[in-house]
Chains A and B, each alone.
Chain A
Amino acid sequence: MKFKLKIWKQRDAHSRGSFVTYDLDGVAPEMSFIEMLTYLNETLIGKGDEPVTFEHDCHEGICGSCGMYINGYPHGPVKGLTTCLLSMRYFKDGETIVIEPWRAKPFPVIKDLMVDRTSFDKIQQAGGFISISVGAAPEANAIPVRKHSSDLAFDASVCIGCGACVAACKNASAMLFVSAKISQYALLPQGRPEGKDRVRAMIAEMDKQGFGSCSNTGACEAQCPKQIKLFNIARLNREYFKAY
Chain B
Amino acid sequence: MNKILFSAVSKKFVMALAGLFLLLFLPVHLGINLMLLKSDPEPFNTAAHFMATFPLVKVVEILLILAILVHVTYGITLQILNWCSRPVGYAVRNKSDTSAFSRFMIWTGGSVLIFLVIHFFNFYFIKLGIVEGDPENFYAVAQQLFVIPSYAILYWICFLILGFHLYHALQSAFQTLGLSNEFWKPVIRVISLIYAIVIPLGFAIIPFVILLFK
Residues of A within 8 A of B (CB): 8, 19, 69, 71-74, 77, 79, 98, 100, 103-106, 168, 170-173, 200, 203-204, 206-207, 210-219, 222-223, 229-231, 233-241, 244
In whole angstroms, what is the CA distance A140 to B99 when docked?
43
With an 8 A cutoff between CB atoms, is B54 at the interface? no
Chain A nearest CB from B91 CB (Å) reads 6
In whole angstroms, what is the CA distance A203 to B103 when docked?
23
Q: Would A106 and B178 count as touching, CB distance under 8 A?
A: no
With an 8 A cutoff between CB atoms, is B214 at the interface? no
Q: Would B92 and A235 count as touching, CB distance under 8 A?
A: no
| Residue from A71, A170, A207 within 8 A of B7 (CB atoms) | A207
Q: Which 4 A/B pairs are nearest by Cβ-Cβ distance? A: A238-B178, A212-B85, A171-B82, A213-B8
In whole angstroms, what is the CA distance A104 to B88 when docked?
7
With an 8 A cutoff between CB atoms, is B40 at the interface? no
Q: Would A72 and B93 count as touching, CB distance under 8 A?
A: yes
Residues of B within 8 A of A (CB): 1, 3-4, 6-13, 78, 81-82, 84-99, 102-103, 105, 168, 171-172, 174-182, 185
Given contacts A203-B9, A222-B97, contact A213 B178 (CB under 8 A): no
Residue of B nearest to A74 (CB): B96
Q: Would B92 and A237 count as touching, CB distance under 8 A?
A: no
CB neighbours of B168 from chain A (8 A): 216
Chain B nearest CB from A113 CB (Å) reads 13
| Residue from A103, A106, A172, A234 within 8 A of B175 (CB atoms) | A234
For this complex, 22 residue pairs linking A to B, each with C-beta atoms less than 8 Å apart, are: A72-B94, A72-B95, A73-B95, A79-B97, A105-B87, A170-B86, A170-B94, A170-B103, A204-B3, A212-B85, A216-B168, A216-B175, A217-B99, A217-B103, A218-B97, A219-B98, A231-B181, A234-B175, A235-B178, A236-B9, A237-B12, A239-B178
Chain B nearest CB from A100 CB (Å) reads 6
Residue of A nearest to B89 (CB): A103
CB neighbours of B81 from chain A (8 A): 212-213
CB neighbours of B86 from chain A (8 A): 103-105, 170-172, 212
In whole angstroms, what is the CA distance A239 to B211 when docked?
52
CB neighbours of B91 from chain A (8 A): 8, 19, 98, 100
Chain A nearest CB from B85 CB (Å) reads 4
In whole angstroms, what is the CA distance A100 to B92 when docked?
9
Q: Would A215 and B98 count as touching, CB distance under 8 A?
A: no
Q: Would A234 and B178 count as touching, CB distance under 8 A?
A: yes
CB neighbours of B85 from chain A (8 A): 104-106, 171-173, 210-212
Given contacts A173-B85, A235-B181, A237-B176, 10 further A-B contacts (CB under 8 A): A8-B91, A72-B92, A73-B94, A74-B96, A171-B85, A212-B84, A213-B12, A218-B102, A237-B177, A244-B1
CB neighbours of B10 from chain A (8 A): 240
CB neighbours of A204 from chain B (8 A): 3, 7
Q: Would A219 and B96 count as touching, CB distance under 8 A?
A: yes
CB neighbours of B180 from chain A (8 A): 231, 234
Among A219, A222, A233, A234, which residue has the most Cβ atoms of chain B within 10 A? A234
Chain A nearest CB from B169 CB (Å) reads 10
In whole angstroms, what is the CA distance A182 to B132 when docked?
56
Given contacts A171-B82, A233-B175, contact A71 B92 (CB under 8 A): yes
Chain A nearest CB from B77 CB (Å) reads 10
In whole angstroms, what is the CA distance A214 to B78 when docked?
9
